[in-house]
Amino acid sequence: MSSQYNENGILKGQKNRINLLAVIVTILLAILIVRLFYLQIVEGGYYYKLAKDNATRVIYLTAPRGDILSKSGKIFVDNESSFNIAVILSRVKKKKTEFKFLAGLMHKNYRKILQKVKKEEFLPPYEPIILIRNISIKELSKFEVNKLFLKGFFIAKIPIRHYPFGKMGAQIFGYVGPVSSTELKEKKYGYLNSSDIIGETGLEYYYQKYLHGKDGEKRIVVNSKGEPIGNIVVKKPVMGANLYTTLDFSLQKLAYKLMKKREGAVIAVNPKNGKILAMVSTPSFNPFYFSEGISRKHWDSIINNDEHPLQNKGIQNALAPGSTFKAVASLAALSLHLITPEEKIYSGPTFKLGNAVFYNWNPNQNSKVNLYRAIAESVDTYFYSIGVRIGIDQLADYAHRLGLGEKTGIDLPDENPGFIPTKRLVYKRYHSRWYKGSTLSAIIGQSYDLVSPIQLLMAYSAIANGGNLYRPFLLQKIVSWNGKILKEMKPKFVRRINIKQKYLNAVKKGLCGVVSKNYGTAINARIKGIKFCGKTGTAQIISKTYSIYDIKYIPRKYRDNAWFVGFAPLNDPKIAVVVLDMHARFLGANAAVIAKKIVEKYLEQKGLWKPPLHKKNEKGKKGGKNKSKLPSFIYTSF
Partner 1 sequence: MKILDNQYAKNFDFIMFFTVILISVIGIINLYGSLSLNHKDFLDPYVIKQIIWFVISFFIMSVIITIDYNTLIEAAYYIYGFILIFITVVLLKGRITHGASRWISLGMFSFQPSELMKIGLIFALAKYFTSYENKKGYSLKGLIVPFIVIIIPVLLIAKEPDLGTALIVLFIGFIMVFLAGIKKSSMAVLAGIALVVGPLLWFRLKPYQKSRILIFLHPAKDYLGAGYNIIQSEIAVGAGRFFGDGFGNGSQSTLDFLPAKHTDFIFSTFMQQFGFLGGLVLIALYFIVIIRGFKIVYRAKKLQGFLLGGGALGIITFHAIINMYMTVGLLPVVGVPLPFFSYGGTSLVVDMSAAAILLNISMRRYKFQS
Minimum distance between the CB of residue 194 and partner 1, rounded to whole angstroms? 20
Could you say whether residue 3 binds partner 1 (CB under 8 A)? Answer: no
Name the helix (H) or strand (E) containing 335. helix 326-335
Judged by CB under 8 A, which stretch of 24-32, 67-75, 185-193, 629-637 contacts partner 1? 24-32
Minimum distance between the CB of residue 43 and partner 1, rounded to whole angstroms? 5
| DSSP at 65 | P
Burial category of 69 from C-beta neighbours within 10 Å (exposed 0-12, middle 13-18, buried 19 and up): buried
For the CA atoms of 245, 250, 253, 258, the dihedral, rounded to the nearest 10 degrees, stands at: -130
Could you say whether residue 26 binds partner 1 (CB under 8 A)? Answer: yes
Could you say whether residue 55 binds partner 1 (CB under 8 A)? Answer: yes
Burial 487-522 (b: 16+ CB within 10 A, else e): eebeeeebeebebeeebbebbbbbbbbbbbbeebbb
Residue of 501, 527, 491, 320 whose CA lies nearest to 410 = 491
- Per CB under 8 A, the list member of 3, 22, 91, 483 interacting with partner 1 is 22
Could you say whether residue 41 binds partner 1 (CB under 8 A)? Answer: yes
SS3 content of the chain, % helix, strand, coil (to 5): 40, 20, 40
- Per CB under 8 A, the list member of 106, 221, 338, 425 interacting with partner 1 is 221
Pairwise CA distance, residues 24 & 46, whole Å: 32
Minimum distance between the CB of residue 221 and partner 1, rounded to whole angstroms? 7
Minimum distance between the CB of residue 97 and partner 1, rounded to whole angstroms? 25
Could you say whether residue 149 binds partner 1 (CB under 8 A)? Answer: no
CB nearer to partner 1: give 223 or 305. 223
Minimum distance between the CB of residue 59 and partner 1, rounded to whole angstroms? 17
Could you say whether residue 52 binds partner 1 (CB under 8 A)? Answer: yes
Minimum distance between the CB of residue 13 and partner 1, rounded to whole angstroms? 6
- Per CB under 8 A, the list member of 3, 181, 182, 224 interacting with partner 1 is 224
Minimum distance between the CB of residue 154 and partner 1, rounded to whole angstroms? 22
CB nearer to partner 1: give 12 or 352. 12
Could you say whether residue 25 binds partner 1 (CB under 8 A)? Answer: yes
- In sequence order, the 6+-apart residues with CB closer than 8 A to the CB of 613 are none
Burial 434-473 (b: 16+ CB within 10 A, else e): beebbbbbbbbbbbbbbbbbbbbbbbbbbbbbbbbbbbbb
Compute CA 42 distance to the chain's CA centroid, rounded to the nearest angstrom: 53
Could you say whether residue 10 binds partner 1 (CB under 8 A)? Answer: yes
Could you say whether residue 27 binds partner 1 (CB under 8 A)? Answer: no
In terms of DSSP bridges, do strands 153-162 and 176-178 run parallel, antiparallel, or are they unpaired?
A: unpaired
Could you say whether residue 54 binds partner 1 (CB under 8 A)? Answer: yes
Could you say whether residue 21 binds partner 1 (CB under 8 A)? Answer: yes
**Ramachandran assignment for 270, one of left (phi > 0), alpha (psi -120 to 50 degrees), beta (any other):** beta
Residue ranges in 227-266 that form contacts with partner 1 under rule CB under 8 A: 227, 229-230
Minimum distance between the CB of residue 225 and partner 1, rounded to whole angstroms? 7
Residue ranges in 410-439 that form contacts with partner 1 under rule CB under 8 A: none
Could you say whether residue 40 binds partner 1 (CB under 8 A)? Answer: yes
Minimum distance between the CB of residue 226 and partner 1, rounded to whole angstroms? 10
CB nearer to partner 1: give 33 or 137. 33
Judged by CB under 8 A, the number of residues near partner 1 is 46
Burial category of 104 from C-beta neighbours within 10 Å (exposed 0-12, middle 13-18, buried 19 and up): exposed
CB nearer to partner 1: give 16 or 605. 16
Pairwise CA distance, residues 573 & 575, whole Å: 6
Residue ranges in 110-139 that form contacts with partner 1 under rule CB under 8 A: none
CB nearer to partner 1: give 48 or 519. 48
> Residue 467, CB half-sphere, CA atoms under 13 Å: how many?
12
Residue type, 446: Q
Judged by CB under 8 A, which stretch of 45-53, 401-409, 499-507, 514-522 contacts partner 1? 45-53
Judged by CB under 8 A, which stretch of 49-57, 92-100, 264-272, 334-342 contacts partner 1? 49-57
Residue of 259, 262, 258 whose CA lies nearest to 307 = 262
Judged by CB under 8 A, which stretch of 28-36, 242-250, 396-404, 480-488 contacts partner 1? 28-36
- Per CB under 8 A, the list member of 3, 8, 304, 571 interacting with partner 1 is 8
Residue ranges in 466-495 that form contacts with partner 1 under rule CB under 8 A: none
DSSP lists the bridge partners of residue 579 as 266, 564
Minimum distance between the CB of residue 217 and partner 1, rounded to whole angstroms? 19
Minimum distance between the CB of residue 51 and partner 1, rounded to whole angstroms? 4
- Per CB under 8 A, the list member of 111, 112, 225, 429 interacting with partner 1 is 225
- Per CB under 8 A, the list member of 72, 115, 223, 340 interacting with partner 1 is 223
Could you say whether residue 366 binds partner 1 (CB under 8 A)? Answer: no
Residue 431 to residues 191, 391, 426, 434, 448, Cα–Cα distance (Å): 46, 19, 7, 10, 13
CB nearer to partner 1: give 8 or 304. 8
> Residue 211, CB half-sphere, CA atoms under 13 Å: how many?
29
DSSP 590-637: SHHHHHHHHHHHHHHHTTS----HHHHHHHHH--S--S----S-----
Pairwise CA distance, residues 16 & 286, whole Å: 89
| DSSP at 315 | T
| DSSP at 412 | S
Residue of 411, 413, 412 whose CA lies nearest to 488 = 411
Length of the chain: 638
Judged by CB under 8 A, which stretch of 15-23, 376-384, 397-405, 483-491 contacts partner 1? 15-23
Pairwise CA distance, residues 168 & 380, whole Å: 37
DSSP lists the bridge partners of residue 345 as 369
DSSP lists the bridge partners of residue 245 as 475
Could you say whether residue 222 binds partner 1 (CB under 8 A)? Answer: yes
Could you say whether residue 39 binds partner 1 (CB under 8 A)? Answer: yes
Could you say whether residue 635 binds partner 1 (CB under 8 A)? Answer: no
Could you say whether residue 58 binds partner 1 (CB under 8 A)? Answer: no
Q: Is residue 472 classed as helix, strand or coil in its secondary structure?
A: coil
CB nearer to partner 1: give 8 or 571. 8
Could you say whether residue 43 binds partner 1 (CB under 8 A)? Answer: yes
CB nearer to partner 1: give 53 or 80. 53
Judged by CB under 8 A, which stretch of 165-173, 219-227, 292-300, 601-609 contacts partner 1? 219-227
Residues lying near partner 1 in the complex (CB under 8 A) are found at: 2, 5, 8-11, 13-15, 17-19, 21-22, 25-26, 28-29, 31-33, 35-37, 39-41, 43-48, 50-52, 54-55, 221-225, 227, 229-230
